[in-house]
Amino acid sequence: MIHHFEKGTDPASPTLLLLHGTGGSERDLAGVGRMISGGSNLLGVRGNVSENGMARFFRRLAEGVFDEEDLVFRTRELNEFIAEAAERYGFDRSRVAAVGYSNGANIAASLLFHLPDSLQGAVLFHPMVPRRGIPLPDLSGTPIFIGAGRNDPLCPPAESEELAELLAGAGADVRLHWENNGHQLSRSEVLQAASWFRETF
Ligand code: MLT
């Protein structure tokens, strides 16, 4: 997959897997990643799907309606890519935390839903419920920060709460943080995620 790797200075910090929103790129969240964990390796990845030229991590049938078959396929593809990148750049595959925004948060949530050992933790900015009606794996103790907007038209508050409940029900240790904003990623939620990350890792 197209990606950007930056070696960190602190081998004790997990590698951050940076996953952009629709139309973004592998470099979009590098600054956010550095705010969250200054010493981590950063692995920014570009989604392999193009929607009218905009990069995404999986196909959708309409806004907010996901192509589930493609979602599962792309989730596995991303998981395989993380393992390849760990070999190539020499980081610990078992210590990878995702930082995703919007479509990138959705595929990070999908990694947690389908492949429980894929992430050590996750920061999900404005995520949706990636899939419904499937049993979740055991996520005991997995730390997850959700940044949500009370006025987010794409991810309504009830959906952020539903996702938090599903993950907590699977044993994850979920922090749900609210902003009064819409779908945009705000500096204040990144700062909240950064302080949560310092407490947690
Ligand atoms: C998605 O398709 O993943 C969500 O609607 C968020 C987005 O527009 O990227």
Q: Where are the domains of the chain?
A: 3-200
Give me the pLDDT at residue 158, please.
97
**Architecture of the domain whose range is 3-200:** 3-Layer(aba) Sandwich (3.40)
43: which 2 tokens?
């692995």
> Which of these, 18, 194, 12, lies nearest to 101 by C-alpha position?
18
Q: Describe the strand order of the beta sheet including 143-149 as a list of residue ranges.
A: 3-6, 42-45, 15-19, 96-101, 121-125, 143-149, 173-179
C-alpha 134/C-alpha 176 separation (Å) is 22
Cβ–ligand 1 distance for 60 under 6 Å, the answer yes
**Closest atom of ligand 1 to CA, residue 106:** 3
Give me the pLDDT at residue 152, please.
97
Give me the pLDDT at residue 13, please.
97
Give me the pLDDT at residue 72, please.
98
95: which 2 tokens?
């210590």
**Closest atom of ligand 1 to CA, residue 56:** 9
* Averaged pLDDT score across all residues of the chain: 97
Average pLDDT, integer, range 60-76: 96
Are 3 and 27 a contacting pair, CB within 8 Å? Answer: no
Q: Which residues pair with 19 in a beta bridge?
A: 45, 100
Cβ–ligand 1 distance for 153 under 6 Å, the answer no
Give me the pLDDT at residue 149, please.
97
Q: Which residues of 10-31 are buried (b: 16+ CB within 10 A; e: fewer)?
A: eeebbbbbbbbbbbbebebbbe
Residues acting as catalytic residues: 102, 152, 183
Return the best residue to mutate from 48, 107, 128 for the ligand 1 pocket (most ligand atoms within 8 A of CB).
128
